[in-house]
Amino acid sequence: MSRKWLRVAKEIGSETNKMRPKRIILIRHAESQANEDESILSHVPDPKVGITGRGTRQAHDLGEALKDIVQDEKVFFHCSPYMRAKRTLEEIVSRFPKGQYLAREEPRIREQDFGNLQCHDPHLTGNKLAAKMSEIKKEREHFGRFFYRFPNGESGADVYDRVSTFLETLHRDFDKPGFGPWLYNNVGLVSHGIFMRLFLMRWYRWSVEEFEALENFKNAEYVIMERQDNGPHRDQYEVLNKESKLRPWKGINMPSWSEQQPYVTLRQSPTYAPWD
């Protein structure tokens, strides 16, 4: 390719990057009824589980925090169709004036499917039900969080595939003239812990080992991916506050890849990546 066309391609790429949002904010739903009492999942469909009173307060405070971050900039929210995510978003946007945000329901960022009603067995109640659910989770720990498939449900790998198709949609959205930063400088994804970790894994090309070493996010916790406009990582996204947000499971050492390893590591934490 001639120098002229290399220069043209570079200029086109630079103009395209100007369309990218300033921030991508990953948000986990506030405390749900299932976080308070997991046995509810034996008789209430997971998509219909709401948030607790404490969760409502968490979401309210989260809205205040996000408003302080984005100030007067507009936000485009994508929200999981699960009740706990929608209720969280409702509280968040209550802190924003109308016209500052747009919200869209997005089924692909829903919770991992754990298999319809979990442990739906009339003979399993109370401690027996809790023991059965604990047994399934221990099996998952032994098998691996990424590849383990819940009975009649999904594996982490299945959710990873959903993340990939959703990212393709984001690519197209960001390239639309009507989406540019003059309209929406921020994109918020109100979702679930597993989706957030797999989104980061897909974006930064982490390995399965690195994904499985990462602890889940807390209720109403968020991660900010911010576009770098200057320096060596220009036009790439950095995870802010990664030291406090990206936590390894207790007793698990983070993988220590060499600098030549193509995967982005959490320990070295060059949590920068170009737009996919």
Query: Is 247 part of any known ligand binding site?
Result: no
Query: Is 15 part of any known ligand binding site?
Result: no
Respond yes or no: is residue 154 known to be catalytic: no
Query: Is 32 part of any known ligand binding site?
Result: yes
Nearest CA to 58 out of 164, 262, 217, 166 is that of: 217
Respond yes or no: is residue 29 known to be catalytic: yes
Query: Is 30 part of any known ligand binding site?
Result: yes
Catalytic: which of 78, 91, 106, 111? Answer: 111
Query: Is 33 part of any known ligand binding site?
Result: yes
Annotated binding-site members for substrate: 28-35, 84
Residues making up the binding site: 28-35, 84
- Catalytic residue positions, numbered: 29, 111
